[in-house]
Structure 1
Amino acid sequence: MQLSTRLSHLSQEQIVFAAAVLLSAVFIFTVPGFDTVSNFSQILERVTVVGILALGASIVVIGGGLDLSQVASAMAGSGLAVLLMNTGWPISIALLVGLLVCVAIGIINGYIIAYIEIPAFFATLATNLVIFGVARVLLFKSTFRLYLDDAVADSPFFVFLSARVFAIPVSTLLFIALVLILYGLLRHTTVGRTLYAIGDNSRTARENGVPVRLYTIFKYTFCSIFGYIAGIVFLSTIHNIDAGVMIGTMIFDVILIVVLGGVSLVGGRGTPFSVLLGAILIGLLLNGMTLLDLNNDLQDVARGLVLLAAIVIDNRLHPRNEETARKGE
């Protein structure tokens, strides 16, 4: 009871911010090389891609859904763009084609969930497997990586996207800009306020004339677009697309950031700033563990414990009632 009472006076964002400050202080005094400018720049670069993915995923979660296919669609769309650019297509056209593929995937996800009424978890898990299989056959073929040609990598677009301004990656500035844009969309437009209403109680929203099915398609499409942006940022950083990322832990990190930051799994709560704070905390944690030379298994254990703690806090702050528990029925 005392824990519940104390937590009730704090938002999850405040808890995460305090944890990030505390973790930074601990690492500064215990981990050699943590407080350098170059390491700070690496932390920002590391959290940018997964942070942009988490921004897209947060739109779906706020609206009461879940997308497990986002990373796969991002890698497929950006992988197609790489193939087109490498064969001489103009960069702008190739990027547009990749974007349209991701938009199509988002629309398909939304349609399956909204009109065929398959639960989001199973629908997006299935499309994730389909996307991965199709991408492996048609795009990646005998290799797990698609490398960007040097001539394309040296183009002004990719040089700018991979540049730094006073040790701050341009891609991180893009991430922050997307946070601000998404905040404005969610908090100051009818579309954004309606998404919160749907996530809070989709049945009530439907009874009040809200086109819930169309909004479902919208949020999954928007999620896929953000995923594609993250895929292009990923491409600009390492100049290749790795199909192994589709079946790796990135989608787990995305969900971890979303939940940790304070975007409630019951829907209807959270902000883009929640995602930003969650991304920063996870970036600090993973960077510190890497500098401490902890193996991947221990890092996975730490991720799992952090996610469990975030879910416990979420349940304490936003307890489920009978209505929220039945929203997925």
Structure 2
Amino acid sequence: MIVLLLFAVIFLAFSILLKGFFTFGNLLTLMRTVSVLGILGLGMAVVVIGRGIDLSMIASLAVPSAVVLMLASKDYGIATSLLCGLTLAVAIGVLNGFLIAYAEIPSLFTTLAVGIGVAGIGQSGLFEYEIVPWPAQLAAISWIGQGSLFGVPYSVLAFIVAAIIVGIFMRRTRLGAFIYASGDNPNAARIAGISVRPILVLQYIIASVVGMFAGLVLSASSAGMDTRIFNLTWIYDVILVVVLGGIGLSGGRGGVLNVVIGTLLIGTIVNGMTIMNVSFEMQNLIKGMVLLAALSIDSIVNPRNEETAQQGDI
């Protein structure tokens, strides 16, 4: 509620003080911008609720979706191209989950290494060019990032649909309840009969598949996938959305609504700074300070007790 109130105050202040902020064109741009960030935030939320973190999500966004675009351009067909991209995304999630759950390598280092490796594969010769264009063969599904329905961009509708699906999965299914239980207290979940390790693998598969979906939405809206996107600071924006939205890093808490609120807040702040001609470097500094403050507050609101600490940090 505090974050929602903060968003309302900032949005109102920008609307009054910033010329050009509260216009149809700018709000449309704002919605399109935050949609992909919000979809990524949904995948990251699943992992953080399960007491982990996934730094490979931008690689999962860029490479599998670029594979879909590349194969489609070579006339492999929409279904085959999507299946190959989905298979790669699932493989990334399985690799992350296996190394974390069974090899017991901390998620921070595992996902960082996997993300760098996947991005490196994509940039070292898998694709002919660093920017893979959206092919005409995928025109049948280009609506996921292009056009609008009653003035609402399809990319925003994609975020809404993804939020509904993830929300139902996390709150209404047994597997979602298992992720919450495993994140809240792995030992208690294990004693209760929950297979914690497979659940851990599942949450990274979900994050990777959600990342691929975000990549397809981004590719359709921008008419291509720039595989160099891995070198940008998007992953920090995704973490900022999740943490600032109120999902505790100690695991077992939060949900889709937190992601939506965090996405709106970060999107509004970034959009306002852009209108004020704040430099990219200064924006990163401000977002870094906000993230540090959010992490500090999270450590106070959701402290790690002795039992929690024994389960390992992210």
TM bucket normalised to smaller: over 0.9
Contact preservation (8 Å) 2:44, 2:53: yes
- CA–CA distance in 1 between the matches of 2:145 and 2:271? 22
Kindly report which structure 2 residues correspond to 1:121-160, keeping only aligned pairs within 5 A, or say none. 121-141=108-128, 143-149=129-135, 151-152=136-137, 155-159=139-143
SS at match of 2:240: helix
Contact preservation (8 Å) 1:63, 1:268: yes
Q: Which residue of 2 aligns with 1:246?
A: 230
Shift of 1:160: 5.3
- CA–CA distance in 1 between the matches of 2:220 and 2:45? 24
Q: Which residue of 1 aligns with 2:306?
A: 322
- CA–CA distance in 2 between the matches of 1:160 and 1:192? 26
- CA–CA distance in 1 between the matches of 2:288 and 2:269? 12
SS at match of 1:42: helix
Kindly report which structure 2 residues correspond to 1:302-317, keeping only aligned pairs within 5 A, or say none. 302-317=286-301
SS at match of 2:132: strand
Shift of 1:101: 0.6
Q: Which residue of 2 aligns with 1:262?
A: 246
1:160/1:315 CA distance change after superposition, 3 Å: closer
**Is residue 162 of structure 2 the alignment partner of residue 175 of structure 1?**
no
Q: Which of residues 34, 41, 52 in structure 2 aligns to 1:47? A: 34
- CA–CA distance in 1 between the matches of 2:256 and 2:275? 29
Kindly report which structure 2 residues correspond to 1:102-113, keeping only aligned pairs within 5 A, or say none. 102-113=89-100
* TM-score, scaled to structure 1: 0.92
Q: Which runs of 4+ in 1 moved over 4 A?
A: none
Q: How many residues align?
A: 313
SS at match of 2:249: coil
Q: Which of residues 192, 196, 200 in structure 1 aligns to 2:176? A: 192
Between 317-326 and 189-198, report the one with greater CA deviation. 317-326
Q: What code does the residue aligned with 1:152 have?
A: Q
**Is residue 64 of structure 2 the alignment partner of residue 77 of structure 1?**
yes
Contact preservation (8 Å) 1:61, 1:263: yes
Shift of 1:144: 2.3
Q: What code does the residue aligned with 1:148 have?
A: W
Structure 1 residues 158-192: Cα deviation after superposition (integer angstroms, max 9, x where no partner): 04541112331112112112212211211122111
Between 58-67 and 311-320, report the one with greater CA deviation. 311-320
Structure 2 unmatched runs, 5+: none
Q: What code does the residue aligned with 1:90 have?
A: G
Q: Which residue of 1 aligns with 2:187?
A: 203
Q: What code does the residue aligned with 2:133 have?
A: Y
- CA–CA distance in 1 between the matches of 2:276 and 2:150? 26
SS at match of 1:146: strand
Q: Which residue of 1 aligns with 2:272?
A: 288
Kindly report which structure 2 residues correspond to 1:28-47, keeping only aligned pairs within 5 A, or say none. 28-47=15-34
Give the aligned CA root-mean-square deviation in angstroms.
Answer: 1.4
Shift of 1:325: 2.1
Q: Which of residues 139, 146, 155 in structure 2 aligns to 1:162? A: 146
